[in-house]
Structure 1
């Protein structure tokens, strides 16, 4: 939800995930004070000490215990990935697994420093890939996680059915007055999620000369709540949103067609994010590992390299967490019990 979800994503949601998602999507299960403190430490070190030497995770298990530390991004789809991977690492491969919630960019710093071993869903951060993979070699690409992500602007289907032309960005100003809120003033509201997401929405509003104000809900969870409230009252809304996302099952939405995404637009955005004037890209979501972990030859690294599932799989777990109120651990357990035909393919062959 940069998700980043990257404009270049390639998203440089950038996204950036990262045109964008950075999906917070959160909804995130509660964690202890020590974990919160650790996440804060990661974020601070990520912002200011990216070149520090490798440091051990503060959550490392006792000596001789097989241990893995996974980064949990702030959107629920990322939490779903980790929930299932964690359950299988612990119950099938005998690992102790720690999870740490870190925002998108600081997560790369933490991964480079060895504070976390793996990121299981990235929406595209070309600058970070250049710095840590190609220049420093401290991070290694882990391949796709099987899910294709897409960020865009969406309106509820019940409104689009009454006003089909609203799905073309050129007609959005025509409907701005219907989308005014107390937060957007005399302009229409474009609802975004967390301010930590790397998006180009403000640039798009400006460059496309739209009479809208970007309003941040504060988190993915808060954004979902607002969307659900609008839908319950059958009110119109325009929102930054992304796929995969379980909420589509409850609130059908239609994407607004923005100017087509092009490589030229992406390159322009890389040089100046404020110059972006095209749609977000469609992005195969990627995994990244700390290089030492990737080369360790452990069953954990082999398993995580093999980890890849479908949008439907991820949405199934996400909906259990976000809509049904299950803990991430319980949701992961239920999915694993139901889909052995999927996850057994991820286990290292010698297991």
Structure 2
């Protein structure tokens, strides 16, 4: 890796640079899944090459909006339409948080099951099949209820509300980390044990494993906000999760204090293919986030240098 770092250093020496408008650190938030660490470190390292002082701050996915509103945090590189829209809209309404545009990534986050579970639960991927075969997804701890393995609690997602609204005999159990979530999938898949869990794309898991996303009633904003909308007239969240872009957001003051950085962040675009390949290197190949980012930058100078061009 020393050779990669030296090559990258030589390449960056001729990269275009902006004059940083302030030497104060731009605080980029880090969360608890590999892809977000990659996009954030990638943007941060590009900003450093443009002359900015960058600080990485660990923060909860939803709770970070409090810091973005006050300016204690500055930039969040991944707000998923699938889980972050409600918190994002509330923050935008204050005027203290602004949208810096799409990352270029398109997101799906939903209940997912391995193909072998379809034989045990005929009728899938239609969600109504789960009403008749919840016990097929049970564990000794949840029986006779099925177990839905959700992501870390900090990810949001309203899975408990969905289970109740749709009358599903499932218990929601949250994985502690992103790594734990997919380690459990790997173990279950190898043994063909029962499992249904939170899987998201772009990610390597739905490409590596044969399976399907559950098809819930289509999402609408009203399904989340108005109990009278949807299959259950008495409950909200009786539908699937939204799908769509992954967004970049910032404290509203970023564009005034660091206008060049704000423009560079707006310019950031990454494909699902590049994102998935880098996540695979980290999660499956054991490469560090920092080395993965450095290698991508070494191979894609024309792309990222365009983000910071004057």
Partner residue in 2 for 1:230:
188
Change (3 A) 1:273 1:108: farther
Q: 1:234 to 1:317 in 2, by over 3 A?
A: same
* Cα shift at 1:276: 1.2
Deviations 1:230-255 (A, max 9, x none): 11112231112222222223223211
Tell me: CA distance 1:129–1:236, structure 2 relative to 1, closer, same or farther (3 Å): closer
Residue 116 of structure 1: how far off its partner (Å): 2.0
* Equivalent residue in structure 2 for 1:111, among 65, 68, 75: 68
The residue correspondences of 1:146-225 to structure 2 (distance < 5 A) are: 146-160=104-118, 165-225=123-183
State how 1:83-98 maps to structure 2 within 5 Å: 83-90=41-48, 92-98=49-55
Which position in structure 2 is the counterpart of 1:250? 208
SS in 2 for 1:254: strand
1:286 paired to 2:278: no
Please tell me whether residue 296 in structure 1 is matched to residue 257 in structure 2: yes
Matches within 5 A, 1:118-157: 118-124=75-81, 125=84, 128-135=87-94, 137-157=95-115
The aligned counterpart of 1:42 is none
Q: Which of 32, 36, 41 is matched with 1:78 structurally?
A: 36
For residue 153 of structure 1, give the secondary structure of its aligned residue in structure 2. strand
Shift of 1:134: 3.0
Match of 1:27 in 2: none
Contact 2:98 2:249 in 1 (8 A): yes
Moved more, 212-221 or 152-161: 152-161
Change (3 A) 1:224 1:274: farther
CA contact (8 A) 2:121 2:133 kept: no
Which stretches in structure 1 are left out of the alignment for 5+ residues?
1-63
Q: Secondary structure of the residue that 1:89 maps to in structure 2?
A: helix
Larger Rg: 2
Decide whether the 8 Å contact of 2:224 with 2:236 is kept in 1: no
Q: Give the Cα separation in 2 of the matches to 1:206 and 1:133.
A: 30
Relative to structure 1, is the Cα distance of residues 126 and 279 closer, same or farther in structure 2, using a 3 angstrom cutoff? closer
TM-fit CA distance, 1:162: 7.4
**CA RMSD across the alignment:** 2.6
TM normalised by structure 1 equals 0.73
1:315 alignment partner, one of 266, 273, 276: 276
Query: Paired residue for 2:267, among 278, 289, 306?
Result: 306
The CA deviation at 1:99 is 0.8
Q: 1:262 to 1:106 in 2, by over 3 A?
A: closer
Query: TM-score when scaled to structure 2?
Result: 0.82
